[in-house]
Structure 1
Amino acid sequence: MAPSQDPSRQKEPIELDGRTHEGGGQLLRNALVLSSLTSTPLRITHIRGNRSGGGGLKAQHLACVNWLAHATNAHVEGAEKGSKTLEFRPGVVEGLSPAFEERTLEGGEEVYAAKLEIGTAGSTSLALQAVLPFILFSKFPEHRKVFIAQVLLPTLARIGLPHIIPSLTKRGWSTGGTTIGSFTLSIPPQTLPLPTFTLTPETPQTKPSNIHATILAPTTLHTHITTILPTTLSRYFPSVPLTITTESSLSEKRLYILLTATYPHNTHILAADHLHVRKIRSLERAATEMIELVASNLAREVESGACVDEHLRDQLVIFQALAQGRSVVYPGEEDGELREPSLHARTAEWVARRMLGVRFDAEGVCEGVGFGREDGDGVEGVVRGLEEVSLGD
């Protein structure tokens, strides 16, 4: 893409080493979307440098780069499969981003539509980490909705984001024969800035009111799983009601289990899951081991007293950084100490600090920049943060 006359194209880019902390795709995704939202030029070296096989951009990452480049009229260098260095300079966008298309649905509802196609059996939920914040923090006429295809979203309504309605067309798999899935999401307009939010436990800590299991497995294994699952969970969660949903995975090489623990009044949900990717010698043994693993992981999350599980915590970092004011995501405790952030969470926090100037403490507190404020203070806060980073890092 040819660069425009945008003065921001002349700025020196923020440079990030892709080997920092987790050193994988999350650093790339978070940096790209923050660059796109704040029109901050970015240069990433050693992309996915901590990954086996040499790292570099894979199809999933390249799809995110190209989508955001189109959305922001960005000048991009290094947007090639396998590339380990990427320069991304957002350009000028007059009016609505070119990533969105006006569309009228059956029934006359007017929406803006956007589509992300990975083209492989890569993780759509990971790709969405680079696209969703851009969509949620973009401005649309209030009478329209945003309609997105080929993406995945964990529900974030309880922190103030719009209630998103998913619709699955086809499930995709990377095991048991590669198949590409498809689903759509309907997202109502988001009012900016995102208000401050607090995810801290109740006192005293209550136990889950219900545990729900979602099982994707060959039908021949359903009876075995539904027989041993209640017994296993009763050891960790006595007297907690259990509901089970089963679905055929259409292959004996595909096993997936998700457990969610819902708390009274739906204050929060904790989750643990596992996708079996190793060679399966015995279906029943593999399922039994998976159930024990996921049950013990969920129990660890519940015992910590956290309001979000380890995997959701790192996905909330970017929203804390962009929200207005002091947001808290309590990390939980382990052996009497606050739990340390995972490498993914550390990576997300580091990127947010470098890109926005925000900081996170051990208690999961962040003073966000208030991105999208009408008075412009949110943008000025980003600029001030970047100046502090350039002087202090």
Structure 2
Amino acid sequence: MIEIDGSVGEGGGQILRSSLALSMCTGQRLSLTRIRAGRAKPGLMRQHLTCVKAAAEVCGAEVEGAEMHSQTLRFAPGKVRAGDYSFNVGTAGSCTLVLQTVWPALLLADAPSRLTLGGGTHNPMAPPFHFLERSYAPLMRRLGANVELALRRMGFYPAGGGEITATVWPAADSLQPFDLTERGPRVDGYAECFAPALPRTVAQRELGQLGAALGWRDDQLRVAAVRQNEGPGNALLVTLVHGNASEVFTQFGEKGVSAEKVARELVREVRNYQMSDAALGPHLADQWALPLALAVWKRQCAAAYTCSELTAHAKTNFDVIQRFLPVRFSIQAMDRGWRVLAEPV
């Protein structure tokens, strides 16, 4: 039984999601206490419950404590089963986080799995769909884990209503860790504004402010097409494509926040990344740790990556992973960034 205190480190929902993923992957039972204890609304919220129920369905787990606001959970996994699955958060809670909970385990199944996920696709505090599609999934494929992702409908806070699909192929025998220490030459860079059901001037103001600050051409600034009945919502994205990795940075508009401020905040994120020579930005550095650790464990060989920033999220994730897997993370400061080494122990 792996016992995890959900209040330590960053203390958020990622501890739950990583613990569930690793419990499924290793077959080890999990006891989680003080879940999100320091949050304004502690315990399991609806999107966290969806993660628990999705994990339980994928592996036939026995679960105790899977109810709203519960701060304790016991999870006894069974065998991971490939299949066709549908999970709906039922609110604007992130369905991309539900996908990331079950994705690692489905890599170890014996056949492809097809998933349909409903809820929020573009939320603050969660990876938006375009981040998974452009940044995370390409690295997963390089790791030997093939996946297809499709955005059926965008879902914003507070309405939700988004939908994505994913096909995950088994990869237990093909996972191969690799070093990712240089981002490579820049191939492309562009910005998009998704603003369904909002005046077009919102997108134009955000893109104009961002383009002026970054010195980008008009053809790098795009008002994205949206589907009928999406929104209202507002997401401003910058995609930086390099030879070895792509990064997607996002800021969300909200009532009472000017378009110019949204753009300025995104420019700040982009510049922080550009000031470093590291391969990965802060969010990808965090989320890359778990699949890389699985590959290191399976192949018993080390791999390293560099990142522009190490967040509390990332350090907490390292700690959780090390509780389940015989893998050690070590970090070393470098000029304008960090080097992270994952190695078997």
TM-score, length of structure 1 as denominator length: 0.73
Given that 2:182 and 2:278 are in contact with CA atoms closer than 8 Å, whether structure 1 keeps it comes out as yes
Question: How many residue pairs are counted as aligned between the two chains?
Answer: 314
Residues 1:35 and 1:188: Cα distance change in structure 2 (over 3 Å): closer
Given that 1:270 and 1:301 are in contact with CA atoms closer than 8 Å, whether structure 2 keeps it comes out as no
2:95 — aligned with what? 124
2:178 — aligned with what? 197
Given that 1:170 and 1:181 are in contact with CA atoms closer than 8 Å, whether structure 2 keeps it comes out as yes
Unpaired runs of at least 5, structure 1: 1-12, 102-112, 333-338, 369-384, 386-393
Identity %: 28
Question: After alignment, is 150-159 or 42-51 more displaced?
Answer: 150-159
DSSP 3-state at the match of 1:198: coil
Deviation at 1:347, TM superposition (A): 1.3
**Residue 216 of structure 1 pairs with residue 229 of structure 2:** no
Deviation at 1:361, TM superposition (A): 0.9
**Residue 41 of structure 1 pairs with residue 17 of structure 2:** no
1:147 — aligned with what? 114
Residues 1:62 and 1:304: Cα distance change in structure 2 (over 3 Å): same
Given that 2:146 and 2:171 are in contact with CA atoms closer than 8 Å, whether structure 1 keeps it comes out as no
CA distance in structure 2 between the aligned counterparts of 1:30 and 1:146, rounded to whole angstroms: 20
- Identify the match of residue 319 of structure 2 among 331, 350, 370: 350
- Identify the match of residue 331 of structure 1 among 307, 312, 316: 307
1:269 — aligned with what? 246
Given that 2:34 and 2:71 are in contact with CA atoms closer than 8 Å, whether structure 1 keeps it comes out as yes
Residues 1:162 and 1:26: Cα distance change in structure 2 (over 3 Å): same
Residues 1:294 and 1:192: Cα distance change in structure 2 (over 3 Å): same
Deviation at 1:169, TM superposition (A): 1.9
**Residue 254 of structure 1 pairs with residue 225 of structure 2:** no
Given that 1:213 and 1:244 are in contact with CA atoms closer than 8 Å, whether structure 2 keeps it comes out as yes
Q: Deviations over 1:253-302 (max 9, x none)?
A: 63211101112xx321123211134x326xxxx11111111112111112
Q: Deviations over 1:292-337 (max 9, x none)?
A: 11112111112111211111111111112111221212124xxxxx
Residues 1:200 and 1:326: Cα distance change in structure 2 (over 3 Å): same
Given that 1:270 and 1:302 are in contact with CA atoms closer than 8 Å, whether structure 2 keeps it comes out as no
Residues 1:245 and 1:199: Cα distance change in structure 2 (over 3 Å): farther
1:230 — aligned with what? 211
1:63 — aligned with what? 50
**Residue 17 of structure 1 pairs with residue 14 of structure 2:** no
Question: After alignment, is 247-256 or 76-85 more displaced?
Answer: 247-256
Deviation at 1:163, TM superposition (A): 4.2
2:121 — aligned with what? none
Question: After alignment, is 60-69 or 153-162 more displaced?
Answer: 153-162
Given that 1:129 and 1:315 are in contact with CA atoms closer than 8 Å, whether structure 2 keeps it comes out as no
Counterpart of 2:180 in structure 1: which amino acid?
L
**Residue 293 of structure 1 pairs with residue 265 of structure 2:** yes
CA distance in structure 1 between the aligned counterparts of 2:46 and 2:153, rounded to whole angstroms: 20
Residues 1:244 and 1:25: Cα distance change in structure 2 (over 3 Å): same
CA distance in structure 1 between the aligned counterparts of 2:230 and 2:52, rounded to whole angstroms: 33
Given that 1:270 and 1:307 are in contact with CA atoms closer than 8 Å, whether structure 2 keeps it comes out as no
Moved over 4 A (4+): 238-241, 248-253
Residues 1:315 and 1:246: Cα distance change in structure 2 (over 3 Å): same
**Residue 310 of structure 1 pairs with residue 282 of structure 2:** yes
**Residue 167 of structure 1 pairs with residue 139 of structure 2:** no
RMSD: 2.5
Counterpart of 2:90 in structure 1: which amino acid?
G
